Structure 1
């Protein structure tokens, strides 16, 4: 049975470095980075690379600190650039010559079924496709997401790095096979901060269930009792939607023009009265 484990990848990295009697950082540099001349890929950043480190942002568009892996570094401790990762993908895809070609080819061999048209090689996922197998992997750490993939038959490869928690997988797959659709991006509009302040407050669904609405500069956040605070995006002046779940909020005004309640549109409509 296929199960992908980040913990398992971290443990594997630890075992390999222990066996080689060197740090994971040095092991990867010696075996992969130096042969491919990937000079901007490392775990420990130099002052120059540190000055170029992008700020990461969470799913709400808020700044978030990046993750530092002190142990199990094989799970995602390396920092890199698009230019360096392009070298890695080109070498894997056979678009550039490398002494590692044999090892890369071995890693691309399917080992297990992963459901549907997907199989798993040595860390690489393989999507069976009419235009040629798409070999790919993605990743995410605090405030960052990545996608790398290639189609050897089509001689195409792509690297996507973003400093947000939003997935870019659909862009990568669409580039490698245009028949794979891009996800639909819902537009959102700007709402005057004074109006957002009118929405801010506490709304009651039940005796112990509340919606807390807050404004942070020009953004609106909603928090249901016992859940995380999530950003909601304005579809119209009084209608907002979530990106992370399939739900909407509508703010309702009374006869005097004041906000009296909100309606949660999720598995039906539920009204919460504004109490504060």
Structure 2
């Protein structure tokens, strides 16, 4: 079996107190002053240089600003670590990304499959208005082949699985109360395995993008079983620690809770910290701007190394994305989204975003320009557009200086 050598990333960090480039700092300061985020940390990666700057407060009861060592909850940004690990293990030959997941599930568990339907138009008797009513009547097509979920479908959010299902969350994922209550902490791996068969697929696997935390969580737990290790330990061993990400955790070590910022919900009230069990591979990580900058550096690297090959494979655009709130043409890779820098631009940006009750996290980078941005916020305010504005400003400045 092929193994990836441990890779140590060398990069330069600006001296303590060094400022972000003026245009980037102005955007961050203006955003924070509007009251949208009590605290914000920015990491700007440019070539082999990393700049850090914190704004606002770690909590409303502390005057200190957050910095590159402050811990934040990542929410769904966790998923790109899971899909990167999946890509790595597939390239090591442990399984094929096109393989159906069913043979890898524990005995007695089964994943839902898509059954083609045959639909015919039925004309009902004339209704009181005097017009016949036409409806479609659909039944399973006896000649159609069932379509099973493959590993690549989980990684690209094309499995057809819902974002959340009954018993997974106490709230509707896109409702007003979405960030007022946390997920059920007791929802374990076994619950995930033995409930997925009950979830109706939203579409045929592989046919279209439907964001699914369930799918990413399932991917991570299957990797855990294949390797005989808890997912937390597997991710640390195979990805986080080789990249020097020593401050990225699912569960905070003893004595580290004081480094975790206080999150605030959309009404500005203190939000509870979230913990996960079965869903941890989809949304359970906590990390720092320094660690996420190291991850950006790894993704910006090019060359013949196996690590670079894994990152590039995960970043490849594979399916069109239609999603509420997207302002740019967008496609999905393995965990990543790939959008145009501006609606009129052809310059691709690889990015992902996540959030919990009181936190938001953004990573975005432009590979051929070797620039990237990390944003970590301790509130439920959206920071996606801020991330794109920073990337656009830095990219435009780089192009102008190269002329």
TM-score by length of 2: 0.42
1:18 CA displacement: 1.3
Q: CA offsets per residue over residues 157-187 of structure 1, 9 Å max, x none?
A: 011111101111111111112499xxxxxxx
Q: CA offsets per residue over residues 197-222 of structure 1, 9 Å max, x none?
A: xxxxxxxxxxxxxxxxxxxxxxxxxx
Query: Are 2:279 and 1:41 aligned?
Result: no
Q: Secondary structure at the match of 2:255?
A: helix
Match of 1:53 among 260, 278, 299: 260
Stretches of structure 1 that go unaligned for 5 or more consecutive residues are 181-276
Select the structure that is richer in strand.
1
Q: CA separation of 1:25/1:123 partners in 2, compared to 1, >3 Å: closer, same or farther?
A: same
1:145 CA displacement: 0.6
The alignment yields a C-alpha RMSD, in angstroms, of 2.2
Higher relative contact order (CA 8 A, sep 6+): 2
Match of 2:296 among 89, 93, 98: 89
Query: Are 2:380 and 1:165 aligned?
Result: yes
Is the Cα contact below 8 Å between 1:42 and 1:80 reproduced in 2?
Answer: yes
Task: Supply the distance in 1 between the matched residues of 2:290 and 2:303 (Cα, whole angstroms).
Answer: 14
Q: CA separation of 1:101/1:173 partners in 2, compared to 1, >3 Å: closer, same or farther?
A: same
Task: Supply the distance in 2 between the matched residues of 1:163 and 1:98 (Cα, whole angstroms).
Answer: 36
1:48 CA displacement: 3.2
1:98 CA displacement: 7.1
Q: 115-124 or 29-38, which moves further after superposition?
A: 115-124
Match of 2:314 among 85, 88, 107: 107
Match of 1:128 among 332, 340, 358: 340
TM-score by length of 1: 0.61
Q: CA separation of 1:170/1:76 partners in 2, compared to 1, >3 Å: closer, same or farther?
A: same
Structure with larger Rg = 1
| Count of residue pairs brought into register by the alignment | 180
Is the Cα contact below 8 Å between 2:245 and 2:294 reproduced in 1?
Answer: yes
Is the Cα contact below 8 Å between 1:95 and 1:155 reproduced in 2?
Answer: no
Task: Supply the distance in 2 between the matched residues of 1:142 and 1:177 (Cα, whole angstroms).
Answer: 29
The 5-angstrom pairing of residues 140-179 of structure 1 reads: 140-178=355-393
Task: Supply the distance in 2 between the matched residues of 1:60 and 1:94 (Cα, whole angstroms).
Answer: 40
Runs of 4+ deviating beyond 6 Å: 95-98
Select the structure that is richer in helix.
2
The 5-angstrom pairing of residues 182-221 of structure 1 reads: none
Task: Supply the distance in 2 between the matched residues of 1:69 and 1:142 (Cα, whole angstroms).
Answer: 13
Query: Are 2:330 and 1:118 aligned?
Result: yes
In structure 1, the residue matched to 2:269 is: 62
Stretches of structure 2 that go unaligned for 5 or more consecutive residues are 1-207, 323-327, 396-403
1:131 CA displacement: 6.0
Q: Secondary structure at the match of 2:243?
A: coil
